[in-house]
A = this chain, B = another copy of it.
């Protein structure tokens, strides 16, 4: 419980909060019954002594758009400030915590990430009765309330709330939507910092499955409110930057007739009387859009991978930020565009989401993300050299293993002071058949990966746009030409040289913030073991 401004602050453990929850449950049940009896509950309470707060508290009638209270103006919690001192306001917010003690009830109201303290204390003049205080003390946590209150400047800042210099002295309280008494997790537990001076606090953890099973509650933590706003920012920046550079947004189908990449790792769909597949990538469609003269395209949408990978960075469904671009002479025209897009995204996040990044940092260890402008571009042999110097045994045409990539990220960071870099010119042997070979050295290819904090977040290449050469390369890879005939055919209509890449959105957000699991940056993650909620 985060009610340190409460006259008698108590740090509750699990047992205590269960007890409290039970108590609250009972109270709430009682209150519910009462409310039911009294219908709109605006009549006098059935208590021994007369209730001079009657009509000023209770359960608000289901908001069904009756036209009632049409001219009531609500103030946002984040706007409560000393400028409103002495003013009366209506606030709609959740009850985060409450503690009734005799004639007083202290509580914290929360609206998205903003919190404010409220005080309900018996006062005949303000028509706040004992019964009303009791009612407020019985409201279940996470219920949504309508509160009429006077904004009052506090003597000293309330450190546990985001609104520190004022509190709300309440005159009217109505439950708009009641939460059930026994919540499957407590917001204050789910929001607890990973680092804390209090070793006891660190023991109370909400494990990931509990979080995800109860995602509606989990998403209410300040860190999650911030993470998904940052995520929306990544998508917006990606689109805006590319639109400004003349890219056209397209939409590619998710239901496809053939598994273009050989049929492995692809989900099958029953399609009327036949079968279809879920697209593992929009690549073919982006390339078709290029062949169809759209010149520069991007698409944001679901990508599906039927990989049974249960790791911190794999999802079976994720959001792909994909782009493809025709170029004139050299695929570096595209690499530079993508690199600059990332730099612009990082700058945008840093400048526009400083508050959200700080909020995430209050719960998780967030190291500021470092980047260079223009971004660093290394060639594959340089990376191999750096790894060899660090003692890694690696052949010059081997692909990088995941640990190699992580190590390389640290080496690059130490040497170049950047968390983002481009690794260019991968060995031809480790890339897909459609990758354009390097014209000067058949060992290398015109392909690249991009990394954030040592993890791959984009893979891309110049694609072969010549149908005969593409056929030759496919044969070299022992690919059944008949199965990719449509793909090859699409280059027989005239197609400009082009390159592109696909970005895993959730990875970008995870790695930008330095989080340890991709499930923290997918609102409703899908993995081999989870398709709910």
Contact = CB atoms under 8 A, between A and B. Distances in A.
Interface string A282-309: 0001001101111100001110101010
Interface string A454-468: 000000001001100
Given A70-B329, A219-B292, A524 B317 contact: no
A142 B493 contact: yes
Copies of this chain in its oligomeric complex = 2
A387 interface: no
Contact of A302 (B235, B291, B302, B528): B302
A131 to B, nearest CB: 23
Contacts of A466: 62, 177
Interface stretch (A101-109, A191-199, A224-232): A224-232
Contacts of A312: none
A4 interface: no
Contacts of A239: 236, 239
A497 B63 contact: yes
Contacts of A268: 269-270
- The size class of the interface chain A forms with chain B is 35 or more
B446 A65 contact: yes
Interface string A236-252: 10010001000011111
Interface of A: 62-70, 72, 74, 92, 94, 110-112, 142-144, 176-180, 183, 215-220, 224-225, 228-229, 231-232, 235-236, 239, 243, 248-257, 267-272, 276, 278, 285, 288-289, 291-295, 300-302, 304, 306, 308, 316-317, 319, 328-332, 436-440, 446, 462, 465-466, 469, 486, 490-497, 505, 522-524, 526, 528, 531-533
Given A62-B469, A217-B493, 4 more contacts: A111-B293, A228-B294, A253-B524, A271-B531
